[in-house]
A and B are shown apart, each in its own frame.
Chain A
C-alpha cells in the first residue's frame, strides 16, 4: 500500500489535492481512500489530508503517521513545530516541497534526510490559473510521484474540479496546470518497505485531581507570539510618494495589521499581515503594490 500525506493551509486546496490523487488511483483500478483532517475551518490554518492507494482492500482508517510520500504545499509549515510535515516519513520515502529552491537548497534549509523533489507550483498556478488554489497541481505532482498515469490524472482533475466549479475555462486551466506539473516532475523510484510498528505499551491511567485534570489553561496566553504573517503568498509594499494618508487601508484591513507611524503614514505589521491584499485593492492612489513573498527579500532587502 502507498500512503501519501499532504500538508498545506486552509484555502490552498489540500483536501481537493488528496481527492485528485484518490480519484486518479481509483480510475486506474486501485483501491483508494482519501481523507482530510482539520479542526474549526479557517483560511490559513494548517491542514493535512491523506490518500491511501492499494491493490488490496484498504483495512486502515484515519491519519497516516508513516507516509511513503509527503507533499508540502506550503513550505512555511516546515518551520512549524506543531505540524512537522516530514515526521514519520518512511526510510526511502519522498518529500515534495512547493518552492522555487532546488532540492539541494531545500535540503540544506530544512535539514530533511529523505529524497526531495521541488517545483514552484505556486508560480505555475499564478501563471495559468491566476490564483493560488493549488489542488490540481499538488494532486498532479502526487500522481506522478505515486507512479500513476497521465490519462488517469487528466480524467481525475476533470471529474473532481467539475464537482466544485462550473466554469469550463477554469476546469480546462486546471487540467492544463496539472498536466504541466505532472510532466515537470522527473520519474522517480520509491524505495520504501512496510514498517513494522514498534508500538508503545498500554498503561493504567492514574487519578489526578481536577486542578490538573480539568480542561482549563493556567498558563498565560501565548497567541500574540504566533506570527500569522508567515504564510503570505504576496506582500503589500508601500511607496509613500503617492500616499495621501486617507486611512482607507487602515479601516479596511480585516486583521488590524496596518498601523500609523509618527508622521501619520500607515505601515504594515508584516509579522501578522496574512497577505489578503485588500489594502492594495482599496488604496485610491495606488500607494501599495504586491510582490510575491519569495522575491520580497531580494526586492526590499529585508
Chain B
C-alpha cells in the first residue's frame, strides 16, 4: 500500500537518480520528504539539496542534467508557476530531466485540490508529459520516463503528472519492482552531448540573435518531441516485457464496440470507467479513452480510437478562460479532417478537485445520445459540470460572505 507520492519516491529510488534539488509545496512535499529520509538513512545514494525557490530548483535540476548526471525534481501548482521561466529554458538545453508535477488548482482563489491548469500551462514548453491514473502507474511512469527522455532521439525533459490528494495522498496496492529488474530495463545514463569531462570544455544554452537560428533550435525540439512517439512505443514494449504491465500512449476502456466515448485524463478516469460500467448496465454502448501521453500528442492513436464513433465527450479537468476545455480543442484538431468524425462535445468537470458524480456522467451520456444523427448540432461552448445542489450550497456560502 503506497500513496502516489511514495510511489513516485520509489520510482526515483529505483532509477538510481544522482541529484535531487527540492523545494516543498503541498501536495508534493511527501515525495521529497521520503527521498530525504532514505538518503539520510543510507538507503539511497543520491545528493539532495534544498533550494530557495522552484525557479532555482528547476535551474539546478536542469543544470545538473546538463553535466551528465541523472536528475530529478518535483513540484506542484504555484511552485510550477514560480519556476515557469526555467521550464522553457531547461527544455531548450535538451537535457533528460524528469520532474513530477502533483496537480493542484491555481490561485486565485487559492486552493489545494487538483485540476490540470497547472500542468497544462507547461504544455508548450518542450517538456514531454505523462499523466497517471493510479499509484502503480506513477512508479512505472518514472522508470519509463527516464528511459524515454535519455534516448538520443529525444533528449528533452519530461513531466510525470499525478493528481494531488486523489493520488498523491491516496494509498492503494503498488507492486515495487526489484532493483535488478529495473537495472535491466533502465541502464545508467550515458550522456552524449551534455556532460562534464576533463579537457573537454563546452558552453551550453548559448544565446542566439536572428530568427533563422532561433527557428532551427525550436523546431528541432519539436522534431525530438515527435520522435518521442515512436521511442515511447519501444519503451512501452520493453517495459511490458520486463514488468508485465502495458502503458500505451492512450488507454481504451470498453472501447471496442463503443458508440459513445468519454475522453478523460488522470485519476478521475477511474470514475469515468465506473460510469462506463453503469452506462453499459443501462444498455448504452459506452467506452472511455484515457489520454496518458499528452506531449507529444499522440494524434494518430487518438484519431484511430475516436473516428467512427457516434459521439465523443471530452471531460476537461481544466479551463482555458475565454475558450473552454483545453484538451477538447486539441482533440477537435485531431478529428477535423477525418471523414468519419464523431460529434464532439465539451464538458468541464472536477475543477479544484470537485467530484464528478454518477448523475453528472449520466447527464453527459444523455447529451451524447441526444446529439446523435443531427448534423452540425455539436456544442459550441464547454458545459460546466455543476449540480443544482452545489449551486444552492454556493448561494448559502455567498450569504455568509455578505453577498446576499
- Which residues of A line the B interface, CB within 8 A? 19, 22-23, 26, 31-37, 39-40, 58-63, 197-205, 211-212, 215-220
Contact = CB atoms under 8 A, between A and B. Distances in A.
Interface stretch (B91-99, B254-262, B270-278): B270-278
Contact of B353 (A36, A58, A62): A62
14 contacts: A19-B1, A35-B171, A58-B172, A59-B271, A59-B274, A60-B270, A62-B166, A198-B359, A199-B359, A199-B387, A201-B363, A202-B386, A218-B403, A219-B402
A39 B112 contact: yes
Nearest to A19: B171
A33 B170 contact: yes
Contacts of A212: 398, 403
Nearest to A27: B1
A205 B391 contact: yes
B385 A202 contact: yes
Given A19-B171, A31-B173, A61-B267, A202 B401 contact: no
B169 A215 contact: no
Contacts of B375: none
Given A34-B1, A202-B387, A218-B402, A61 B109 contact: no
A61 B355 CA distance: 9
Given A34-B1, A58-B172, A61-B267, A202 B363 contact: yes
A32 B402 contact: no
A35 B359 contact: no
Contacts of B1: 19, 22-23, 26, 32, 34
Contact of B109 (A23, A200, A201, A215): A215
A200 B165 CA distance: 25
Nearest to A212: B403
B374 interface: no
B108 A215 contact: yes
Contacts of B274: 59-60
Majority DSSP secondary structure for residues of A touching B: loop
A187 B274 CA distance: 33
Interface string B138-151: 00000000000000
Contact of B270 (A26, A31, A59): A59
Contacts of B26: 40
B358 interface: yes
Contacts of A202: 359-360, 363, 383, 385-388
B396 to A, nearest CB: 12
Interface in B150-177: 165-166, 169-173
Interface size class of B (residues with CB under 8 A): 35 or more
Contacts of A58: 172
Interface in B56-97: none
Given A35-B170, A35-B171, A60-B270, A199 B403 contact: no
Interface in B352-378: 353, 355, 357-360, 362-363
A63 B403 contact: no
A201 B271 contact: no
B384 interface: yes
B18 to A, nearest CB: 26
A34 B152 CA distance: 41
B165 A203 contact: no
A63 B270 CA distance: 14
A40 B1 CA distance: 25
A201 B388 CA distance: 6
Nearest to B399: A219
Contacts of B200: none
Contacts of B362: 199
A34 B171 CA distance: 5
A228 B126 CA distance: 49
A204 B382 CA distance: 11
B247 to A, nearest CB: 17
A23 B3 CA distance: 12
Nearest to B276: A59
B388 A219 contact: no
Contacts of A33: 170-172
Contacts of B383: 202, 204
A164 B55 CA distance: 32
Contacts of A220: 402
A203 B398 contact: no
B400 interface: yes
A197 B356 CA distance: 13
B363 A200 contact: no
Max count, chain A CB within 10 A of own CB: residue among B166, B171, B362, B383: B171
Nearest to A26: B1
Contacts of B268: 61
Contacts of B277: 59
Given A26-B173, A59-B274, A200 B387 contact: yes
A205 B384 contact: yes
Contacts of B387: 199-203
Contact of B165 (A22, A35, A59, A201): A35
Contact of A35 (B169, B271, B391): B169
Interface string B101-139: 000000011001000000000000000000000000000
A59 to B, nearest CB: 4
B96 to A, nearest CB: 31
A34 B173 contact: no
